[in-house]
Amino acid sequence: MFKSAIFSILALSSTFGHSVQKSKNKSNQAISVNGVTEIKFNQMHSVYQTLPVQLFYLNLYKLPRGTCNIKPNQCYRTTPILSFKIDSVPGNRGNLLFCRSEDCNSNCIMLDLSKKKEIDSTLMYISGGAQSMAWFNN
């Protein structure tokens, strides 16, 4: 009797937790600010810092697109860019993902920010302009 009661409680709490998480996932919609669209990944209670990324429409840092301050663990969609620079990295660590796809999902390059902070041509790495980016400050 006691075992079946415990099992029932565990099953109900598991079902409730699954339904709550499912509803949270549905609310993760793309948000567009200043032409850059944000798609949230799991935040995992990270401390909010921002990484200023200078974006350029052309190779060799020509034709500036502007600076985008990105938060960790979120995918940002942008118009195709061919080069970028980062002046400072909080804690001098983390990785920056640039992808040719619009959802940080395919045809990507991962940049170790402790070693490199700029790419003068995304064409060499992903055969085109980067249309999405994400910063992982592990």
- Put the strands of the sheet holding 74-81 in their side by side order: 31-33, 36-40, 74-81, 130-136, 95-99, 108-112
Q: Does this model's pTM top 0.95?
A: no
- Mean pLDDT across the chain: 78
Percent with pLDDT over 70 in the chain: 65
Q: What distances in angstroms separate CA 63 from CA 99, 128, 129, one per listed residue?
A: 20, 16, 14
In Å, the largest CA–CA distance within the chain is 73
3-state DSSP helix/strand/coil % of the chain, to nearest 5: 25, 40, 35
Is residue 107 scored above 60 in pLDDT? yes
Check residue 25 and give its pLDDT: 44
- CA separation for the pair 40, 59 (Å, rounded): 28
CA angle 89, 90, 91 (to 5 degrees): 105
Give 15-57 pLDDT, tens digit per residue: 444 444 444 444 444 445 445 565 555 555 455 689 999 999 9
Looking at the chain, list the stretches that DSSP marks H as alpha helix, in order from N- to C-terminal side.
2-26, 123-126
- Model confidence at 133, pLDDT cuts 50, 70, 90, reads very high
Domain boundaries, the chain: 29-136
Is residue 103 scored above 80 in pLDDT? yes
User: Mean pLDDT, to the nearest integer, of 100-109?
Assistant: 94
Query: From the CB of residue 75, how many other CB atoms can be counted at a distance below 10 Å?
Result: 22
The DSSP-derived string for 8-33 is: HHHHHHHHHHHHHHHHHHHT---EEE
Question: What class is the 29-136 domain?
Answer: mainly beta
Element (H, E) at 96: strand 95-99
Check residue 26 and give its pLDDT: 43
